[in-house]
Chains A and B, each alone.
Chain A
Amino acid sequence: MVAVVPTTGNVAPAPAPAASAQRRARTAYVLMGPGLLWLAVFFAIPFVTLFLTSLQVPVPGKPGQYMPGFALGNYPAALNEYWPQLVRSFVFSGIATLIALVLAYPLAYFIAFRGGRWKPLLLVLVIAPSFASFLLRTYAWKTILADEGPVTSTLNALHLLPEGRILNTSIAVIAGLTYNFLPFMLLPLFAAIDKIDPRLVEAAGDLYSAPITAFRKVTWPLSLPGVVAGTLLTFIPASGDYINAQLLGSPNDRMIGNVIQANFIQFRNYPTASALSFALMAIILLLVFGYIRRAGTEELV
C-alpha cells in the first residue's frame, strides 16, 4: 500500500529524465569547452612538447641546434650535473615553508579569532603588499639586509652571523622566499581557521583542558586542511623560484629555477632545460597526487 518514504523533509533532487539530462550535459560541455580547450592547448599539451624537447639530440655539425630524438640519456646527464641545485631548491623551499607556517599561523589565528569587525580590513592589509611589484619588494630586501644596514650590523654585533653578512648568503635567499610566499600560506590557513566554530574551543575549556591542550586537541586538527593547502601552495612555487636566489644570493645559492632559466634563455640548451623542468614537475606532481588521494578532487577548485 504505502512504499518506503524518506524520513527527512528534504528530498534530494531527482536525476532528470534521460533526454533532459543529456541536453543539460551538452550545455555544460559547450560552456566549459572554450576555457578547457585553452587550458588543454596551452597548459597540458606544452607538457608533452616539454617532454619531447627534453629528448632532443644535437644536430650533428651544427652546435647549438637540436632536432627531435629519443635521448632519454638527457635526464641522467642533466640531473648529474645539476642535482645540487635541485636538492638545494627543495631544502630552501622546505625551510621557507616551515618558517612561513610558524609566522603565518599566529597571524591567521589572530585575524580569525580576534579580528572581529576588523577582519575585512586586516585581510586587505595581508593582501595589500602583493599590489606592489614583487620584484621590487625582493629588491628592497637588498637595501634592508645591506651589509652596512641596521639589521646586519645589529646581528653582527650579537655575533649571530656565521659569514658576517646576510646578503649573498643562503639566509637571504630563504628569508626572501619566506617573505614572498607568506601570503600563499596565510590565506588558506586563515580560510580553514576561520571556519572553526569558536564554541568548540570554549567547550574544550569547559571540559577542563588548558589553552595549550585545547589548541593541540581542537584547533590544530581542525585547521589541518588549511595547513596542508597552505603548505602545498607555498612549497611548490617556492621550489621553482629563482628571483630570490638571483637577487639575494651568491653563485653558491643557485636554485633549479636559475639553472632552467639559464639553460633556456642564455645557453639555449633546450633539451637539458626541458629535462630539468620536467623532472621538477614530476616530483611536484607526486606531491600533489599524494594530497589528492587523501582529500579528493572536489575540494581542489
Chain B
Amino acid sequence: MARREVEDLHLRGLTKQFGDTVAVDHLDLVIPAGSFFALLGASGCGKTTTLRMIAGLEDPTDGTIHIGSRDVTSLRAFERPVNTVFQSYALFPHLDIFENVAFGLRRRKIKDVTAAVETMLELVELAPLARRKPSQLSGGQQQRVALARALINEPDVLLLDEPLGALDLKLRRQMQIELKRIQHDVGTTFVHVTHDQEEAMTMADTVAVMNGGRIEQLGHPADIYETPKTVFVANFLGQANLILGTRAGESSHAVAVSANGVTFEIPRTRNAATGDSVIVGVRPEKITVIDDVPGAIVPDHVTRVRGRVTDVSYTGVSTQYLILASWGQELICFEQNIKVGDRCAVGDNVILYWAQEHTFGLDGSQGLHAGMSHGEVRLTELNLDLVREG
C-alpha cells in the first residue's frame, strides 16, 4: 500500500461538558500528519470522549476540529474522513467478514469492492476467513477485521479506542508490533487511546498524557518518561521516587534543593518547578545500591543518599529494593542483575547513588501521590507503617 499524503489534525479549545461535569477541558492539540499518536490516561480522564469527538460520534460543547485547513467540527460522523476501531470491535454480526470490511466502501457507493477487500484481508492475514461470520472468529481475528474494516476506507485519521484491551498478553504484544508496522506502511495518522502506559510508549511516536480532561504532558515517549513535568506524569508512567524539598540556591547549570538534610542538584533544563517548593524526582532504574561499609566506593558527581534495606524482590531480570532513607521515606530502586557477588539483603545499611543528570524537579504544590492508583498509594502507606514499627 502506498504511503498517503495526509494532513495534521488540529484540536482547538475542544471542550465537552456533560451537565456539570467537564469531561474534556479546552484541549489544544496538534497531531502531526502520519504519526502514531497515543492518548494515554486513566479511566475517566476524557481520552475516549476526545476520540469520539474526533470521530463525530459526540458533539463538542465548544472548540473546533480541523484536518489541515478543513473545519470538520460540524460534519457528522458519516461525512468525516475519519474511521474508528472500537474497543468491542462492533463487527456487524449479521454480515460475514467480507461484507463487514466492504461496508464503508459500499456506503460510499463504490461499485466493485472485491479487489480492495481481498487486498485488505491479505494485509491482516484473514483472507481464508472471508465468508465466516464474526462470532466464528477469535478475539484476535475479530480485532484484525475491525482494523481492516476501518483502514480500507483510507481515512485521513484512524482512531483506535483501546483496541488491544481484550487480548491476552502474547497476542497483545504481537498486535502492537503489527499495528506499528501497518501504520508505518500505510502512512495514515493513527490516534490510539489507551490506559496502558507500556503500550503507549512502545507503539507511539508521540504520547499525550491526559488527566481530568486536560493534557498534562506531550512528547516523545522517551522524553516524557525521562523528564516528566508533573507529579501525575511521573507516577503514571512507570514509577518514581519523589522527595519534597525547598530551593536552596542555584548555579548556571543546576538548581540546588534541600530536602531532609540532603542537598540535591537538579539540572536547570530538567526543573519544572517555578517556586521555592520543589519535588526532587528520580526513576528507580537510575539508582545504584551498595552496602554502606568502610571502603565502599562511590563515584564523584553523584547524588548520594543513605538508608536501610526493607525489602528485596528478585524478578529474574532485575532486583527491586525498597529502602528506608535516612529521613523516613521509602525509596524504590531497580537494579539490573549484572552484579557479581551477593545482592544487598534486608536490614543492610546501604548507600544509594545516581548520576545528577537523571534527577528531575517538579512543582512542590502538587502533592506526591497524583497519578498513582489507589492501591499503590495504600501500599506505600502500609509499607511505611510496617517499616516504622519494625
**A positions within 8 Å CB-CB of B:** 2-9, 11-12, 14-17
Min distance, Cβ A2 to any Cβ of chain B, angstroms:
4
- Is the beta-carbon distance between A17 and B25 smaller than 8 angstroms? no
B43 contacts the other chain (CB 8 A):
yes
Which residues of B sit under 8 angstroms from A11, Cβ to Cβ? 18, 21, 23, 44, 49
Distance from A18 Cβ to chain B, minimum over Cβ atoms (Å) = 13
Which residue on B lies nearest to A7, using beta carbons?
B44
> A161–B16 Cα gap in the complex (Å)?
76
> When the two chains form the complex, which single residue of A6, A15, A16, A17 contacts B23, counting CB atoms closer than 8 Å?
A6
> Which of B16, B21, B43, B45 is in CB contact (< 8 Å) with A4?
B21
CA distance A275 to B108 in the complex (A): 64
Closest chain A CB from B51 CB (angstroms): 12
Residues of B within 8 A of A8 (CB): 43-44
Query: What A residues does B214 contact at CB under 8 A?
Result: 2
Instruction: Find chain B residues with CB under 8 A from A9 CB.
Output: 43-44, 48
A5 to B45, CA, bound (A): 7
Q: Please measure, in the bound complex, the distance between the C-alpha atom of A12 and the C-alpha atom of B20, giving whole angstroms.
A: 12
A2 neighbours in B (Cβ, 8 Å): 25, 211-214
Chain A positions within 8 Å of B46 at CB level: 5
The reply to whether A5 and B22 contact each other, CB–CB distance below 8 Å, is yes
Q: Are A5 and B18 in contact (CB under 8 A)?
A: no
Contacts A/B (CB < 8 Å), 10 sampled: A3-B22, A3-B213, A5-B22, A5-B23, A5-B46, A6-B18, A9-B43, A11-B21, A11-B23, A14-B16
B interface list, Cβ under 8 A from A: 16-23, 25, 43-46, 48-49, 58-59, 211-214
- In the assembly, what is the distance between CA of A184 and CA of B141, in Å? 44
A4 to B17, CA, bound (A): 11
Out of A7, A14, A17, name the residue touching B18 (CB < 8 Å): A14
Beta-carbon contact of A17 and B48 below 8 Å: no
> How far, in angstroms, from A16 to B214 measured CA to CA in the complex?
23
Residues of A within 8 A of B19 (CB): 14-15
Q: Which residues of A contact B48 (CB under 8 A)?
A: 9
Top 4 closest pairs, chain A to chain B, by CB: A9-B43, A2-B212, A3-B22, A14-B18
Chain B contacts of A3 at CB under 8 A? Answer: 21-22, 25, 212-213
Which chain B residue has the least Cβ–Cβ distance from A5?
B212
Query: Once the chains are docked, how many angstroms separate the CA of A178 from the CA of B59?
Result: 56
Residues of A near B18 (CB, < 8 A) are 6, 11-12, 14
Q: In the complex, what's the smallest C-beta–C-beta distance from A21 to chain B, in angstroms?
A: 12
Contact (A5, B59) CB under 8 Å given A14-B18, A14-B19:
no
B21 engages A5 (CB within 8 Å): yes
Bound-state CA distance A12–B58 (Å) is 12
- Within the complex, the shortest CB–CB distance from B375 to chain A, in Å, comes to 15
On whether the beta carbons of A5 and B43 are closer than 8 Å, the reply is: no
Chain A residue, CB-CB nearest to B162: A9
